């Protein structure tokens, strides 16, 4: 079945460092791909998404490119801030899957001043 | 502003009791979902609904049930709570049946089964 694999955390960075969180997926067909973020004590909120191969999703300085050839959707940010500390989830929604999301295990990011 | 709310935010119950978690959305979304969040597993789908009177089982539906009598609400019932159901539960909603739509999440309910 469909699945999502994320790099294990926690990831600890200093402020202004470069961030990469790896995400790979297994799916039949052409899924839509998402990154959700969960701040402490809150629910998940959409960070960015891409719906077809080579699409780049971007928001708040974060970017991710849908790479069909490597079945990847890695999250990147050029300069992280303390306020980016959160748990990041990669997810997919299969075509014809009626918007059901399959999540990765999540990666906790801690950014220190 | 439209929102999705969950209640209670925290619940402690005993093994064997029936528990109902409420989810209410004012987005007027057709699709509603229940997930549980456990360390190392991310979020896993419990049940989902694409409209009034429609309910479907997700990946981890055993021991849970839902009913959809109106657009706004999808309560989740634990028939006989077990310690393995200690978790954080999230409700979500979305408007379209296609795979590209954003899901909006509630703040979560932390359930402890003793």
Selected residue of B89, B95, B99, B110 to mutate for chain A interface (largest A Cβ count, 10 A)? B99
> Which residues of chain B lie closer than 8 angstroms to A23, CB-CB?
none
User: What is the pLDDT averaged over residues B32-44?
Assistant: 91
> Closest Cα partner for A81 from A28, A25, A20, A14?
A14
How high is the pLDDT of residue A30?
Answer: 84
Q: What is the pLDDT of residues B44-98, one digit of tens each?
A: 999 999 999 999 999 999 999 999 999 999 999 999 999 999 999 999 999 875 5
Q: In which region does residue B51 sit, left (phi positive, over 0), alpha (psi from -120 to 50) or beta (all else)?
A: left
How high is the pLDDT of residue B101?
Answer: 77
User: What is the pLDDT averaged over residues A73-92?
Assistant: 96
Give the confidence band of A96 by pLDDT, cuts at 50, 70, 90. low
The string of DSSP codes covering B50-84 is: EETTEEEE-TT-TTEEE--SSSSB--EEESS--GG
Dist CA A112 CA B59 (whole Å): 37
> Closest Cα partner for A98 from B93, B108, B62, B96?
B96
Tell me if B99 and A93 make a contact (CB, 8 A cut-off).
yes
- Per CB distance under 8 Å, which residues of A are interface residues toward B? 4, 6, 31-32, 34, 36, 41-46, 49, 51, 89, 93-106
Give the confidence band of A99 by pLDDT, cuts at 50, 70, 90. confident
- Asked if the C-beta of B64 comes within 8 angstroms of chain A's C-beta atoms, the answer is no
Tell me if A31 and B99 make a contact (CB, 8 A cut-off).
yes
Chain B residue with the nearest C-alpha to that of A47: B102
Residue A98 predicted with pLDDT over 80: no
Dist CA B50 CA B53 (whole Å): 9
Q: How many CB atoms lie within 10 A of CB A112?
A: 11
Q: State CA B91 to chain mean position distance.
A: 4
Among B31, B90, B100, beta carbon nearest to A44: B90
Among B42, B48, B106, beta carbon nearest to A100: B48
Among residues of chain B, what percentage have pLDDT more than 90? 81
Q: Token match 């719906």: residue?
A: A51
Which distant-in-sequence residues (6+ apart) come within 8 Å of A6 by Cβ? A21, A22, A23, A88, A89, A90, A104, A105, A106, A107, B42
User: What is the pLDDT averaged over residues B35-51?
Assistant: 91
User: What is the pLDDT averaged over residues A67-76?
Assistant: 96
Q: In which region does residue A105 sit, left (phi positive, over 0), alpha (psi from -120 to 50) or beta (all else)?
A: alpha
Q: What is the pLDDT of residues A7-59, one digit of tens each?
A: 888 999 999 999 999 999 999 888 899 999 999 888 899 999 998 899 999 99
Q: How many CB atoms lie within 10 A of CB B56?
A: 14
Among residues of chain B, what percentage have pLDDT more than 70? 96
């Amino acid at each position: 079945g469909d699945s999502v694999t994320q790099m294990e955390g926690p990831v600890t960075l200093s402020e202004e460092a470069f961030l990469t969180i790896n995400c790979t997926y297994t799916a039949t067909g052409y899924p839509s791909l998402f990154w959700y973020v969960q701040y402490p004590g809150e629910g998940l909120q959409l960070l960015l998404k891409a719906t077809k191969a080579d699409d780049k999703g971007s928001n708040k300085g974060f970017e991710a490119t849908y790479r069909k050839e490597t079945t990847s959707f890695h999250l990147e940010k050029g300069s992280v801030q303390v306020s980016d500390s959160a748990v990041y989830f990669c997810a997919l929604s299969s075509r014809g899957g009626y918007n059901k999301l399959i999540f990765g295990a999540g990666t906790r990011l801690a950014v220190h001043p | 502003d439209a929102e999705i709310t969950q209640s209670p935010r925290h619940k402690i119950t005993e093994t064997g009791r029936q528990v109902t978690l409420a989810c209410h959305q004012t987005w007027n979304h057709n699709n509603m979902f229940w997930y549980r969040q456990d360390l190392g597993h991310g979020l896993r789908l419990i049940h989902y609904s694409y409209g009034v009177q429609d309910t479907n089982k997700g990946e981890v539906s055993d021991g849970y049930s839902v009913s959809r009598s109106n657009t706004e609400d999808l309560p989740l019932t634990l028939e006989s709570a077990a310690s393995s159901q200690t978790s954080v539960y999230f409700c979500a909603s979305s408007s379209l049946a296609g795979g590209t739509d954003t899901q909006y999440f509630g703040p979560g309910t932390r359930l402890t089964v003793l």
